Chains A and B, each alone.
Chain A
Amino acid sequence: MNTVYGVTAIVLVCLTTLGVGAFGLRLSRTTSDFYVAGRTVTPYRNASAIGGEYLSAASFLGIAGLVYSSGLDMLWFPVGYTVGYVVLLVLVAAPLRRSGAYTLPDFAEARLESSRIRLLSSLLVVGIGWLYLLPQLQGAGLALRVVTGAPTWVGSLVVVLVVIANVAAGGMRSITLVQAMQYWLKLTAIAVPAFVLLTVWLGDGRPGPQLTAGTAVDWAQPLSGFGGQDHPVYATYSTLLALALGTMGLPHVLVRFYTNPDGRAARRTTLTVVALLGLFYLFPPVYGVLGRVYLPHLPDGLRADSIVLALPEAVVPGSLGEVLSAVLAGGAFAAFLSTASGLTMSVAGVLDQDLLRGRLGRLTGEDATVVQGFRLATVLAMVVPYAAARFVEPIGLATTVGLAFAVAGSTFCPLLVLGSWWRGLSTVGAAAGLVSGGVLAAGAVLITMLAGPISGWPGALLGQPAAWTIPIAFSVAVVVSLATPARIPRHTARTMVRLHTPEDLGLERSTRHR
Chain B
Amino acid sequence: MSNEAREHTGTEYEELQRTEEFGELRRRFRRFVFPMTALFLAWYFLYVLLAAYAPDFMSQKVWGEINVGLLFGLGQFVSTFVITVLYVRWADREFDPRAQALHDRLEGGRP
Which residues of A are interface residues toward B (Cβ below 8 A)? 72-73, 75-76, 79-80, 82-83, 86-87, 89-91, 208-210, 220-223, 232-233, 236-237, 240, 244, 263-264, 267-268, 270-271, 274-275, 278, 281-282, 491, 493-494, 496-498, 500-502, 504-509
Q: Classify the secondary structure of B's interface with A.
A: helix
User: Is B80 a contact partner of A274 (Cβ separation < 8 A)?
Assistant: yes
* Chain B residues, Cβ within 8 Å of A221: 55, 59
* Interface mask (B9-37 → A, CB under 8 Å = 1, otherwise 0): 01001101100001001100100010011
* Chain A residues, Cβ within 8 Å of B67: 220
Known: A274-B84, A508-B3. 11 other contacts (CB 8 A): A73-B73, A75-B69, A80-B44, A83-B80, A222-B55, A223-B55, A264-B96, A493-B14, A494-B10, A497-B22, A501-B25
Q: Which of A208, A222, A240, A275 contacts B45 (CB 8 A)?
A: A240
Which residues of B are interface residues toward A (Cβ below 8 A)? 3, 6, 8, 10, 13-14, 16-17, 22, 25-26, 29, 33, 36-37, 40-41, 44-45, 47-48, 50-52, 55, 58-59, 64-65, 67, 69-70, 73-74, 76-78, 80-81, 83-85, 87-88, 91-92, 96, 99-100, 102-103, 106-107, 110
Docked complex Cα distance between A91 and B34 (Å):
8
Q: Which 8 A-B residue pairs are closest in the complex by CB-CB distance? A: A75-B73, A208-B65, A222-B51, A278-B77, A494-B13, A79-B76, A73-B51, A502-B99
* Chain A residues, Cβ within 8 Å of B3: 506, 508-509
Docked complex Cα distance between A506 and B13 (Å):
12
Closest chain B CB from A237 CB (angstroms): 6
User: Is B76 a contact partner of A210 (Cβ separation < 8 A)?
Assistant: no
* Chain B residues, Cβ within 8 Å of A263: 91
User: Is B80 a contact partner of A278 (Cβ separation < 8 A)?
Assistant: yes
User: Is A271 a contact partner of B77 (Cβ separation < 8 A)?
Assistant: no
Name the CB-closest residue of A to B80: A82
* Chain B residues, Cβ within 8 Å of A270: 84, 88
Q: Which of A73, A76, A502 contacts B96 (CB 8 A)?
A: A502
Knowing A275-B81, A494-B14, say if A508 contacts B73 (CB, 8 Å): no
Q: Which of A90, A275, A497 contacts B33 (CB 8 A)?
A: A90
User: Is A491 a contact partner of B48 (Cβ separation < 8 A)?
Assistant: no
Knowing A220-B59, A222-B59, say if A76 contacts B47 (CB, 8 Å): yes
